[in-house]
Amino acid sequence: MDFDFELLLVSLTAASGAIWALHRVFFAKAVTADIQSGKEAASEPVVVEYARSLFPVFFIVLLLRSFVAEPYEIPSGSMKPTLLVGDFIVVSKFSYGVRLPVIDTKLFDVDSPQRGDVMVFRYPRDNETNYIKRVVGLPGDHILYMNKMLYINNEPVSQETQAEVAGQCGGYKAIERVENLPGVAHRIYVCPQAPDRAYEFTVPEGQFLALGDNRDNSNDGRYWGYVPERNLVGRAKMIWFSSDASKGWFSGERIRWGRIGTSIK
């Protein structure tokens, strides 16, 4: 279960705002009474000073994180070679509609996922854990995955082999390919030695089919089904930092400088 930072941020914003507001109301009354009686007004308690100082900070961060963009760290290799473990990404929160934080009620639509989008969503089996995968099936699409290839509405999605990559399929090499989804060309890994099973779907209305780019090492819609529209979090836009934890900080290779600032396609 993911830590609910959004709930914590809402709670801190509400608590600091309430403390500040209540103090202003009662402090104003106390100051008025002191002035009338000729007494010196009492200074603000420390907790009120902190609340007054931190409320704008919490509020601005809440607005940005809930309605504009949110950072995420990639924890697994299911989206290789597009995203690597240790990539830190920016996710656009308004791409698929503006929602209220915590209760997740949609205020209005902006756009809907398009085929090829790399999207973040809440795992449909627990509605809490954040997953990231690529959209391959839109509502109404007939999708077939067979012989490590996609077929969308009975049309094959072409692939172009690029290279063999060591260390991605246990003791075997992975094959890197460019998959040409309609409108989006992106890289994938396939493991020739991995068992091949046929998966067939007709995507229901209001739902989406999402797969990992590391096709033989991804827990995705082939195994647990569709992503409901209500589970959408946002679209992955950019890598803002990348770190390889297997390298030492002083090795000169820990930070993947070439990935920083790159768009996610």
Q: Is 199 helix (H, G, I), strand (E, B) or coil?
A: strand
Cβ–Cβ under 8 Å, residues 216 and 190: yes
163: CB partners within 8 A, 6+ apart: 175, 176
Which is the catalytic residue, given 16, 80, 93, 133?
Answer: 133
149 neighbors 178 (Cβ within 8 angstroms): no
Catalytic residue chosen out of the listed positions 78, 95, 242, 243: 78
Please indicate whether residue 29 is annotated as part of the active site.
Answer: no
- Whose CA is closest to 153, among 193, 98, 207, 115? 115
Q: Which residue has the tokens 């990639």?
A: 74
Whether 265 is a known active-site residue: answer no
The DSSP code sequence of 20-35 is HHHHHHHHHHHHHHHH
Closest CA to 215 of 256, 157, 263, 260: 157
Residue listed under structure tokens 């040409």: 180
Question: CA 119, CA 154: separation in Å to the nearest integer?
Answer: 24
CA dihedral 138, 161, 199, 154 (to 10 degrees): 60
Whole-number Å distance between alpha carbons of 110 and 65: 17
| Identity of residue 227 | V
Dihedral pair phi/psi, residue 92, rounded to 5°: -75, 120
DSSP designation for 250: T
Q: Which residues are catalytic?
A: 78, 133
